[in-house]
Amino acid sequence: MAKRIDAVDLNVYYGKFLAVEDVNIKIEPRSVTAFIGPSGCGKTTFLRTINRMHEVLPGAYAEGEILLDGENIYGPGVDPVNVRAEVGMVFQRPNPFPTMSIRENVLAGYRLNGTRMSKSDADAIVEKSLRGANLWNEVKDRLDKPGSGLSGGQQQRLCIARTVAVEPSVILMDEPCSALDPISTLAVEDLINELKENYTVVIVTHNMQQAARVADRTAFFNIQGTGKPGKLIEYDDTINIFQNPQNEQTQNYVSGRFG
């Protein structure tokens, strides 16, 4: 189910502006990989190329290859919609659909695509996904209430449940805890640890402690200055990145002497 991600010579553009340059990275299945780095260094931009969400913005495109278990998602004839069904994404701010109930939000991936299913199948998916997102016990009595009535942390776990419900191979998370309090952050981090049993998880974070807590491998991105492209500086086991970085920039960043 979980798939390996290989980026090969990837350049990411916003119009003429080269935002991320020459990324080569191998992300193992059933692992958690964290992207860290200063603001504007291209970690989110790179993350969004992994499910082709980047090109949703006007003028944005990517060059190079991203291989999902060896299959290039930027190859000719690839439908980005199918890529996104395979690579789910959780956003920085919790964004449940305001017109839908909790139950409908979990089933959104099916409902919005017009997939028909029996009520028992739907119930099974709702329960499995909400349990998978550690949210079932909190919301099982009010599944028909609006999703926007939940607290911020619950909303974010609802968004994770919604992503898990369509059974992707990879889950991308773009600073999933930056809008949450420490207790909710802990709940989401526990969840990330459980998700790696079945999924390839990639997480962008500004919080280095978080990267150290949840990630098996960590990639450090950096930028030389404004207007310059972001680059992948170092990619290694998390413990090496934080305790024995090979690159001086990484050393400066993780020890707080920089940016």
Question: How many helices and strands, by DSSP H and E, does the chain display?
Answer: 11, 10
- Measure the CA–CA gap between 218 and 34, rounded to whole angstroms: 5
Shortest approach of other proteins to residue 82 CB, angstroms?
7
Nearer to other proteins, 56 or 124 (CB): 56
Of 236, 218, 204, nearest in space to 39 by CA: 204
Phi, psi of 113 (to 5 degrees): -90, 0
Identify the sign of the CA torsion 27, 196, 70, 12: negative
Give the span between the Cα atoms of 203 and 215, in whole angstroms. Answer: 8
Nearest approach, Cβ of residue 125 and other proteins (Å): 13
In the complex, the smallest distance separating the C-beta of residue 69 from other proteins, rounded to whole angstroms, is: 17
Residues 120-141: b if buried by 16+ CB within 10 A, e if exposed:
eebeebbebbbebbbbbebbee
For other proteins, the closer of residues 23 and 173 by Cβ is 173
Q: Closer to other proteins at the Cβ: 51 or 250?
A: 51
The nearer residue to other proteins, 137 or 209, going by C-beta atoms, is 137
The two three-digit tokens of residue 41, written as one number: 């260094």
**Contacting positions for other proteins (CB under 8 A):** 51, 53, 56, 58, 81-86, 88-89, 91, 93, 95, 97-99, 101, 108-109, 111-114, 142, 145-146, 148-149, 159, 162-163, 166
- Smallest gap from residue 137 Cβ to other proteins (A): 16
Our CB check for other proteins shows the closer of 53 and 223 to be 53
In angstroms, give the least distance from the CB of 94 to other proteins: 9
